[in-house]
């Protein structure tokens, strides 16, 4: 006790001396009004001292500071301005298109009407001047040759895309491809030798890990914010696409409008995600932001470069996450996992033996706790790839090997011709099953499952879910029918079809 009291006593004396010294120094600097000169010293090049410390994977204790990684990352994050010109209308037409039928096989259609004409009744037609809508966001350079990743919603439907680098150079960008189901788009500018960020394995990211968000919120270029990973595999039901893949990395690093498409990086400068959304009652930062994991980004970019479109494998299941309430309702033996509600037509998993009521526990030996995690894992594979599922069936664990299929229920990639034509139109389609055809009383048809940047979205009001039954009066039963017809088509095209939940026949016209 005496040693402890002596140590405490010495500490008090030192504190008192330091306090006196600080008081005297302050008086000398600011309190001496008798002289004519007040001396103020400025320190240049003062070192940055980490306020806290962190431990690396090797067990090394290092100061936690963000200056080095910020300098490394900022040159690779760009500002994106997208401009959409809204013309006099679009080409949706309700009614009998026979009066235009003579124009379909030559260029007269385009000469008189143009690919952007909106067919309406004479009483509805009103001339309007073009209007420009300008949006802004961020992007990340991922390759020295000018490839840039951003969000699809940043550039969707844009007629002009302008990219400003960190050094204020400005370039026009072209869209290589886009994937609405993950809200990822790939651009390219005509420049070489650019700084870029490497994509790292987002599966290795841990909750509680420090991260930086880099982007251009509110047009404030090159803004860096810091936070931690708050959660993984988060689904917030924000993507409107029918086949949306939501398994976001959640972070409390400040993300605001304009950050969309920007970088979420670790302290080594590796890209772990693309900032995409915020959870906010006001539209501005309110605590949490969400980023598309880099593993999904990598898969989308690879497919867009290799195939021109995203080739995604599907299990063919209707699913939901297991929680305590569902476990009690369904009398399940587990409280985490993915519950199989029902089996789709031409289901890959169903044909492999999976049944409604099963609970998926693992994919390729990796545990899955939520439907978002399952969708993320499966989204990394192509049609024709095999995945191993471990399921719980009434308390008994079982293993199934599933060969994934595309949206049409086939174990193959979309062919090159299909990719080029559908990519030009900016759509993905699936063939209708027998039950749907019988329900709608049609011979065949192709349901539009995705709409991305392309001719149809730029020039029509077509919505996801539209079922194409005819093209220029010719029946379209399969994807091959549509692709073969449009491959060598020039001039005007009229797509005819229906919506499953809306009455009447719809027509969409555009020029090729």
pLDDT in tens, 293-337: 999 999 999 999 888 788 899 999 999 999 999 999 999 999 999
Q: What domain count does the chain have?
A: 4
At 123 the pLDDT is 42
Domain-terminating residue out of 246, 276, 308: 308
- Whole-model pTM over 0.75: no
Nearest to residue 467, comparing CAs of 434, 438, 414, 507? 507
Task: Provide the β-strand partners of residue 229.
Answer: 251
216 pLDDT higher than 70: yes
- The domain containing residue 23 runs over which residues? 1-41
| 228 domain residue, yes or no | yes
Q: Looking at the structure, do residues 251 and 321 belong to the same domain, yes or no?
A: no
At 51 the pLDDT is 56
Q: Which of 122-131, 232-241, 421-430 has the lowest mean pLDDT?
A: 122-131
| 231 domain residue, yes or no | yes
Nearest to residue 248, comparing CAs of 215, 283, 296, 211? 296
Between the two ends of the chain, the Cα-to-Cα distance in Å is 92
438 pLDDT higher than 80: yes
Q: Looking at the structure, do residues 279 and 256 belong to the same domain, yes or no?
A: yes
Domain-terminating residue out of 308, 338, 362: 308
At 188 the pLDDT is 96
Give the mean pLDDT of 338-354.
95
Domain-terminating residue out of 286, 308, 330: 308
Strands (E), 152-296: 160-164, 170-179, 184-189, 210-215, 223-234, 248-251, 263-265, 271-279, 288-293
| 288 domain residue, yes or no | yes
433 catalytic per annotation: no
Q: Looking at the structure, do residues 452 and 431 belong to the same domain, yes or no?
A: yes
108 pLDDT higher than 80: no
Q: Looking at the structure, do residues 27 and 141 belong to the same domain, yes or no?
A: no
Query: Which is catalytic among the residues 260, 298, 418, 452?
Result: 260
403 pLDDT higher than 90: yes
Q: Name the CA dihedral angle for 298, 300, 305, 310, rounded to a multiple of 10 degrees.
A: 150
pLDDT tens per residue, range 145-186: 999 999 999 998 888 999 999 999 999 999 998 998 999 999
At 115 the pLDDT is 46
Give the mean pLDDT of 465-480.
92
At 298 the pLDDT is 96
Contact 174, 473 (CB under 8 A): no
Q: Looking at the structure, do residues 204 and 76 belong to the same domain, yes or no?
A: yes
Buried b (16+ CB within 10 A) or exposed e, 424-436: ebbbbbbbbeeee
Give the mean pLDDT of 50-60.
68
At 309 the pLDDT is 81
Q: Looking at the structure, do residues 325 and 197 belong to the same domain, yes or no?
A: no
| 165 domain residue, yes or no | yes
260 catalytic per annotation: yes
Average pLDDT over the chain reads 83
57 pLDDT higher than 60: yes
Contact 195, 75 (CB under 8 A): yes
User: Treating both helix axes as pointing N-terminal to C-terminal, what angle do 479-487 and 416-425 enclose, rounded to 10 degrees?
Assistant: 80
Q: Looking at the structure, do residues 33 and 66 belong to the same domain, yes or no?
A: no
58 catalytic per annotation: no
77 pLDDT higher than 90: yes
Q: Looking at the structure, do residues 5 and 146 belong to the same domain, yes or no?
A: no
Nearest to residue 113, comparing CAs of 123, 122, 100? 100
| 36 domain residue, yes or no | yes
Q: Looking at the structure, do residues 137 and 210 belong to the same domain, yes or no?
A: yes
Q: Looking at the structure, do residues 150 and 67 belong to the same domain, yes or no?
A: yes
Q: Looking at the structure, do residues 34 and 137 belong to the same domain, yes or no?
A: no
Query: Which is catalytic among the residues 91, 138, 156, 183?
Result: 183
pLDDT classification of 398: cutoffs 50, 70, 90: very high
pLDDT classification of 459: cutoffs 50, 70, 90: confident
In DSSP notation, 370-402 reads SHHHHHHHHHTS-TT-EEEEEEEETTEEEEEEE
| 408 domain residue, yes or no | no
pLDDT tens per residue, range 1-30: 444 444 444 343 344 443 444 333 333 444
| 384 domain residue, yes or no | yes
Q: Looking at the structure, do residues 378 and 275 belong to the same domain, yes or no?
A: no
């Amino acid at each position: 006790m005496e040693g402890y009291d002596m140590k405490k006593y010495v500490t008090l004396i030192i504190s008192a001396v330091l306090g006196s010294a600080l008081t005297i120094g302050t008086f000398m600097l600011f309190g001496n009004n008798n002289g004519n000169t007040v001396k103020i010293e400025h320190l240049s090049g003062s070192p940055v001292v980490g306020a806290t410390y962190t431990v690396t994977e090797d067990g090394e204790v290092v100061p936690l500071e963000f200056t080095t990684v910020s300098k490394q990352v900022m040159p690779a994050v760009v500002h994106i301005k997208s401009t959409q010109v809204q013309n006099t209308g679009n080409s949706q037409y309700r009614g009998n298109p026979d009066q235009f039928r003579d124009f379909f096989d030559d260029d007269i259609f385009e000469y008189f009407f143009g690919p952007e004409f909106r067919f309406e009744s004479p009483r509805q037609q009103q001339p309007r001047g073009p209007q420009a809508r300008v949006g802004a966001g961020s992007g990340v350079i991922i390759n020295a040759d000018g490839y840039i990743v951003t969000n699809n919603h940043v550039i969707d439907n844009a007629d002009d895309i302008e990219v400003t680098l960190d050094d204020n150079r400005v370039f026009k960008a072209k869209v290589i491809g886009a994937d609405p189901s993950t809200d990822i788009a790939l651009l390219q500018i005509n420049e070489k030798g650019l700084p870029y960020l490497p994509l790292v394995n987002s599966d290795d990211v841990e909750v509680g890990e420090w991260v930086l968000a880099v982007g251009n919120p509110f047009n404030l270029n090159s803004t860096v914010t810091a936070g931690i990973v708050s959660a993984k595999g988060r689904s917030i039901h924000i993507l409107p696409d029918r086949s949306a893949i939501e398994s976001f990395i959640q972070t409390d690093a400040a993300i605001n409008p304009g950050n969309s498409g920007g970088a979420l990086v670790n302290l080594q400068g590796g890209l772990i995600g693309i900032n995409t959304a915020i959870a906010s009652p006001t539209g501005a930062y309110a605590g949490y932001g969400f980023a598309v994991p880099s593993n999904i980004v990598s898969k989308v970019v690879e497919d867009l470069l290799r195939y021109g479109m995203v080739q995604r494998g599907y299990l063919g299941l209707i699913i939901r996450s297991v929680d305590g309430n569902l476990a009690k309702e369904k009398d399940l033996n587990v409280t985490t996992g993915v519950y199989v509600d029902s089996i789709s037509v031409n289901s890959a998993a169903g044909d492999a033996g999976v049944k409604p009521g099963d609970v998926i526990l693992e994919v390729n030996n990796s545990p899955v706790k939520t439907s978002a995690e399952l969708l993320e894992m499966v989204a990394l594979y192509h049609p024709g790839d095999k995945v191993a599922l471990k399921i719980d069936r009434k308390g008994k664990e079982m293993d199934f090997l599933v060969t994934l299929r595309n949206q049409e229920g086939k174990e193959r990639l979309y062919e090159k011709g299909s990719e080029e034509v559908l990519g030009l139109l900016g759509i993905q389609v699936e063939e209708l099953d027998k039950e749907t055809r019988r329900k709608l009383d049609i011979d065949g048809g192709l349901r539009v499952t995705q709409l991305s940047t392309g001719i149809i979205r730029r020039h029509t009001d077509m919505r996801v879910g539209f079922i194409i039954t005819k093209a220029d009066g010719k029946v379209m039963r399969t994807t091959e029918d549509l692709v073969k017809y449009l491959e060598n088509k020039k001039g005007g095209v009229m797509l005819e079809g229906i919506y499953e939940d809306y009455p009447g026949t719809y027509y969409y016209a555009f020029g090729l």
